[in-house]
Amino acid sequence: MLVLFSSSITSCNSDYTPKPRGYFKIELPKKQYRVFNQPGYPYSFEYPTYAEVVKDSSFFGEATENSWWINIDFPQFNGRIYVSYKDPKKEKFDKLISDSYKLTNKNTVKAYSIDDSLITNPHNVHGIFFKLGGDVATANQFLLTDTTKHFLRGALYFDATPNEDSLAIVNRFLIEDVKHLINTFKWN
């Protein structure tokens, strides 16, 4: 019994210090942009050099609504901005806005906040930016329009389990690129 007691006293005097929690180091590239201005597209904008613009050819296995749907891929971050373009002359403008809010509000199961703010850029493009808080599939969404001829919706997704804390650094980094895209966006 004395041996057990003395060994427990000496074990309490160890120099053990717990290690701090470790995180993956993410290399963030330098911010540089290039212009997307393809012939026939009804819009142009600047996007990062570390991203790739890819034509979206299918929507849930079906053909896309029109040939101006694109994706902006960020391979380094497993991220993608899905960009869909619609013609307000074919669908009512109010319905396009309503559908955008419905798509955003589908995240209310996981979101603890949804903030929307109005957008106006120097090229007379208007819209709404949605910032969602919580472990949601897409924390950053936007719509851009001229209210008569053009309507575009974008949503930034990651190919990862939605975790606000884990994605925070990359989300903050890419949101600057989304805002740059919005501020340089023009209707052709």
Tell me how far apart the alpha carbons of residues 140 and 127 are, in angstroms, rounded to a whole number.
14
- Would you list the domain boundaries of the chain? 43-187
pLDDT in tens, 48-89: 999 999 998 766 677 777 889 999 999 999 999 999 999 888
Helix (H) or strand (E) holding 34: strand 33-36
CATH tag for 43-187 (out of 3.40.1000, 1.10.287, 3.30.310, 3.30.450): 3.40.1000
For residue 166, what is the DSSP state? H
pLDDT in tens, 121-167: 999 999 999 999 998 888 999 999 998 899 999 999 998 888 788 88
Backbone angles phi and psi of 174, in degrees to 5: -75, -25
